[in-house]
Amino acid sequence: MGIVSVPIMADVFASGQRPEYLFWVGCAGAFDDRYKKVTRAFAKILQFTDTSYAVLGTEETCNGDPARRAGNEMLFQMQALQVIELLKAYEVKKILTCCPHCYNIFKNEYPDFGGKYELVHHTQFLNGLMDKGKLPLRPEIFAGQTITYHDPCYLGRGNGEYEAPRAVLNALPARKTEREKNRSFALCCGAGGAQMFKEAEAGNKEVYAERTEQLIASGAGIVATACPFCMTMLSDGIKYKDKSEEIKNLDIAELIAQSLGL
């Protein structure tokens, strides 16, 4: 599958259709060169499975999560109210996103301002497709490889979702390995709570370096992630440790897209 035709909400809405999902791309999925590849991979899966969805395109703005985490409550509320009005105009009921930070703020904090939606993280969505038999994976793609999974804080500890990502990965014919620090005990990648956007504090070692060392020790050739923040930090950690040739950091959506031959 080459070029993906991504439906724009304004066009779909104007034609009288109401897509089941709004795919919230997020800042990283729209602007970060590495995470754009994850957005494309997931869009290919959505097209392959004939999912009813649309994106906001140029109408999508930041939902205010970084502003609130950094302590700028006024800016967050301005951004949140603007987004809520836009989603209300498009009658959005379900939001699909690859970013646990967007997932968390829409699910747990937007309701305080009147924005109530059904949230689906892309790993939960992929797990649902798997259960329905809509993902005919090719068994040879990752056969013989070893995969370890890093739990994103805002998906795991923040929202209690540990099983969906693992269920998706378990459908791949690769060996899976868990680190000692996993699930609710997993170590943060170092980017959460707006730490991504500030200088490091005093200490002996960067958090991302510590977590990367733990993942490298697993012996896995693939570190699977499900968050753009985690991907940035762990990819940097793998480069810092000069392991880029031996270890790949791939989002779960990329693993599934490759397994589908997309």
Whether the pLDDT of residue 2 is over 70: the answer is no
- For residue 3, the model assigns a pLDDT of 67
| Token representation of residue 46 | 């959505």
* Structure confidence at residue 250 (pLDDT): 97
Does this model's pTM top 0.85? My answer is: yes
Fold of domain 9-127? Rossmann fold (3.40.50)
The second-level CATH assignment, the architecture, of 137-259 is: 3-Layer(aba) Sandwich (3.40)
**Model pLDDT for residues 45-95, shown as the tens digit of each residue:** 999 999 999 999 999 999 999 999 999 999 999 999 999 999 999 999 999
Q: Are 21 and 95 in contact (CB under 8 A)?
A: yes
Kindly state the average pLDDT of the residues 235-261: 95
Q: Work out the average pLDDT over 101-120.
A: 98
Could you check whether 9-127 and 137-259 share the same CATH topology?
Answer: yes
Sequence spans of domains, the chain: 9-127, 137-259
Tens digits of per-residue pLDDT, 147-205? 999 999 999 999 999 999 999 999 999 999 998 888 998 889 987 777 766 677 777 88
d(CA 119, CA 104) in angstroms, rounded, equals: 9
- Tell me the pLDDT tens digit for each residue of 16-53: 999 999 999 999 999 999 999 999 999 999 999 999 99
Q: What pLDDT, on a 0 to 100 scale, did the predictor assign at position 106?
A: 98
Q: Counting Cβ atoms within 10 Å, is residue 83 exposed (0-12), middle (13-18) or buried (19+)? A: buried
Residue whose pair of structure tokens reads 């005990």 in the numeric block: 185
Q: Residue 206: pLDDT above 90?
A: no
* Amino acid making up residue 29: G
- Is the model's pLDDT at 1 over the cut of 60? no
3-state secondary structure labels for all residues of 113-138: HCCCCEEEEHHHHHHHHHHCCCCCCC
What's the rounded Cα separation, in Å, for the pair 112 and 115?
7
Residue 66: alpha-carbon gap to chain centroid: 16
